[in-house]
Amino acid sequence: MYVCICKQVKERDIIDAAERGAAHMREVRECTGLGSQCGKCARYAKSVFREAQLKAQQSAGLFTAA
């Protein structure tokens, strides 16, 4: 599904960035242009990124639930 229509950025693009180790949403924005036009996608894109980051950390064993 498209997250940013203006720059044709899909959820998968954001998830891939998180899985490749992007530490900050800024990195995703810099390489995709996400949110640089109208900005309406920013909040949802950030939630997709955070969720993907958490899943990537869990897969790598970097995060354990207490």
Name the residue ranges covered by the structural domains of the chain. 2-59
Among residues 55, 7, 5, the alpha carbon closest in space to that of 30 is found at 7
Q: Which residue has the tokens 């950390």?
A: 57
pLDDT band at 11 (very low <50, low <70, confident <90, very high): very high
Among residues 44, 62, 3, 1, the alpha carbon closest in space to that of 23 is found at 62
pLDDT of residue 19: 92
Q: Is the pLDDT score of 31 beyond 60?
A: yes
Q: What percent of the chain has pLDDT over 70?
A: 92
Q: What is the mean pLDDT of residues 10-27?
A: 95
Distance CA 62, CA 4 (A): 30
**CATH architecture type of domain 2-59:** Orthogonal Bundle (1.10)
Answer for the pair 59, 17: CB distance below 8 angstroms, yes or no. Answer: no
Between 3 and 64, the more confident residue is 3
Distance CA 17, CA 48 (A): 11
Give the pair of three-digit tokens for residue 48. 């997709």
